[in-house]
Amino acid sequence: MTREIPRLPLLIDGELVQSTTDRWRDVLNPATQEVVARVPMATAGELDRAVRSSARAYERWRAVGQGTRMRVMLKFQHLLRAHTAELAELITREHGKTLPDAEGEIGRGLEVVEHACSIASLQLGEYAENAASGIDVYTLIQPLGVCAGITAFNFPVMLPCFMFPLAVACGNTFVLKPSEQDPSASLRLAQLAQEAGLPPGVLNVVHGGPEIANGLCEHPLVKAVSFIGSTRVGTEIYRRATDAGKRCQSMMGAKNHCVILPDADRDVALNQLVGAAFGAAGQRCMATSVAVLVGEAREWLPDLVERTRSLRVNAGTDRTADLGPLISPAARQRVEGLIARGQEEGASLLLDGRGVAVDGYGEGNFVGPSIFGGVKAAMSIYQEEIFGPVLCVVEAETLDEAIAFVNANPNGNGVALFTQDGGAARHFQSNIDVGQVGINLPIPVPVAWFSFTGSRGSKLGDLGPNGKQAVQFWTQTKTVTARWAPRGGGPSGINTTITMK
């Protein structure tokens, strides 16, 4: 008997709606190549319907009290906790990451929802009584209107949580376009938010490819667009959105470095590096893809390789696995092609993850951990974001040489330093030109009440997700200057100057 493959619906105006499109994409389990769902490439009319639904809902939602919005977020975080196992299974089935890693992703998304529960204090304005004689000045922190989010495949729960919870808590409405490669967890997340109390139309979900992303950027009713994904797509999203006069934050590709000084705790530094480089099969925008070994720490390279050999590759449903498959056959081919190119360009392949065999999963998109030594800045494996389980190792004589090497890279998403020298750490954080710095931890993604602050080639737009910057991004400030006539009347006469009297 043939198994019926589910067709994912859109979420528009509070209802699950089957698309009328004639274009559907298979959603594959990366470990087996089994088709687990079909996702619609929504029509332009369906996109317009979703945006207009959000525009109508905004007129009501913007007037809802902060306390009510806060209580919705409180209920949402409760539901997110209760459905963690369900969401993790969806992530693993369509993305391939291990179940523990998927659960960790949900936990990081949950942090943002918990932060949104504080919206009553986050959205406070300022007030100055008698800024001039009898004149008060105050600010109103108001929502923008219809906002949109476009997410990459690598975090189908966390990335939407970086966007819509704070946006709707601020009084906006939202249209989400998840990645078409693993959309089920994002759709389920939106359903939970609606179950928590978001009225119909406040959060809509439209599936699709570049046409839907471009349509959100250019729709006249959309006021702000958030994107997290690759540099190529992010640059185009930013251009389209800003050309259309919208706010845009575009968090893009990276080449994250980990600098290890010889005074670092060897076990801690190497173990943390291995986890950061190869977790999620390297498919993280904050993955450590370059290790810079300084001075005597260069002698630790054989130890690094041996520790990496111990990692287990298997389907994500195996809770003892350290990394699962890549998202698609195309991703596997690209990563293996870059490994081959690294060899051709003269790097030393110290650990080759190509051709890894996983029992029972012969069709999976598996690439094992791979390590290159002797990497130079001009090599393709250093220039390109591999987005796979490949670590490039670079050597430096001094900390300042390492800092100069990192600063010469055009990207600025994250960097780490391992040391036991506080002076070296302070020198590093002061002189490194990267937006997010980790000291003795390898993936410096801050907690959600601090902003995500990637920089340079990794970010377009002034404000990043999460924290205070996110509240600024999803709101506009209105300044009111007011005079109320006191008893006995206000000022008399005509004043043709700009002086407040």
Q: Which helix (H) or strand (E) holds 260?
A: strand 256-260
Tens digit of each residue's pLDDT (9 = 90 or more) over 56-87: 999 999 999 999 999 999 999 999 999 999 99
In the chain, what percentage of residues exceed pLDDT 70?
A: 98
Rounded to 5 degrees, φ, ψ at 250 are -130, 105
Overall residue count recorded for the chain in this entry: 501
Tens digit of each residue's pLDDT (9 = 90 or more) over 236-288: 999 999 999 999 999 998 999 999 999 999 999 999 999 999 999 999 999 99
> In sequence order, what are the residues at sequence separation of 6 or more whose Cβ sits closer than 8 angstroms to the Cβ of residue 237?
150, 213, 217, 225, 227, 248, 250
Q: Which tokens sit at 424?
A: 């070296």
pLDDT higher than threshold 80 for residue 497: no
pLDDT higher than threshold 90 for residue 29: yes
Q: Which tokens sit at 384?
A: 């390109």
- The one-letter amino acid code at 18 reads Q
pLDDT higher than threshold 60 for residue 475: yes
Which position has the token pair 């710095």?
437
From 170, 248, 285, 392, the catalytic residue:
285
pLDDT computed for residue 249 by the predictor: 97
Q: What average pLDDT does range 447-462 have in this prediction? A: 93
Q: At 481, is the pLDDT very low, low, confident or very high (cuts 50, 70, 90)? A: very high
Tens digit of each residue's pLDDT (9 = 90 or more) over 382-395: 999 999 999 999 99
Q: At 15, is the pLDDT very low, low, confident or very high (cuts 50, 70, 90)? A: very high
Distance CA 247, CA 306 (A): 47
Tens digit of each residue's pLDDT (9 = 90 or more) over 95-134: 999 999 999 999 999 999 999 999 999 999 999 999 998 8
Distance CA 490, CA 429 (A): 56
Distance CA 200, CA 174 (A): 11
Distance CA 203, CA 200 (A): 7
Coil, helix or strand at residue 426: helix
Which position has the token pair 């520790």?
307
pLDDT higher than threshold 60 for residue 1: no
> In sequence order, what are the residues at sequence separation of 6 or more whose Cβ sits closer than 8 angstroms to the Cβ of residue 19?
9, 10, 40, 42, 43, 46, 207
For the chain, report the end-to-end CA distance as a whole number of angstroms. 85
Distance CA 85, CA 89 (A): 6
Distance CA 82, CA 431 (A): 44
pLDDT higher than threshold 80 for residue 496: no
Q: At 2, is the pLDDT very low, low, confident or very high (cuts 50, 70, 90)? A: low
Provide the 10 A C-beta neighbour count for residue 79: 16
**Residue 491: DSSP 8-state:** -
Distance CA 302, CA 29 (A): 35
| CA 331 to chain centroid | 19
Q: What average pLDDT does range 183-195 have in this prediction? A: 98
Does residue 285 carry a catalytic annotation?
yes
Least confident of 277-291, 446-460, 468-482, 483-497: 483-497
pLDDT computed for residue 501 by the predictor: 58
Q: At 491, is the pLDDT very low, low, confident or very high (cuts 50, 70, 90)? A: low
With vertex at residue 81, the alpha carbon angle to CA 76 and CA 82, rounded to the nearest 5 degrees, is 95
Q: At 489, is the pLDDT very low, low, confident or very high (cuts 50, 70, 90)? A: low
Q: What is the pTM of this model?
A: 0.95
pLDDT higher than threshold 60 for residue 3: yes
Q: What average pLDDT does range 174-182 have in this prediction? A: 98
Choose among 337, 341, 343, 434: nearest CA to 388.
337
Could you tell me if 33 and 188 are in contact, meaning their C-beta atoms sit under 8 angstroms apart?
no
pLDDT higher than threshold 90 for residue 222: yes
Indicate left, alpha or beta for 431 from its phi (over 0: left) and psi (-120 to 50: alpha).
alpha
CA torsion through residues 181, 317, 303, 355, sign: negative
CA torsion through residues 93, 98, 103, 104, sign: negative
pLDDT computed for residue 49 by the predictor: 98
pLDDT higher than threshold 80 for residue 495: no
The strand order across the sheet containing 437-439 reads 348-351, 370-373, 390-396, 288-294, 256-260, 415-418, 437-439
Provide the 10 A C-beta neighbour count for residue 446: 14
Distance CA 216, CA 101 (A): 31
- The one-letter amino acid code at 72 reads V
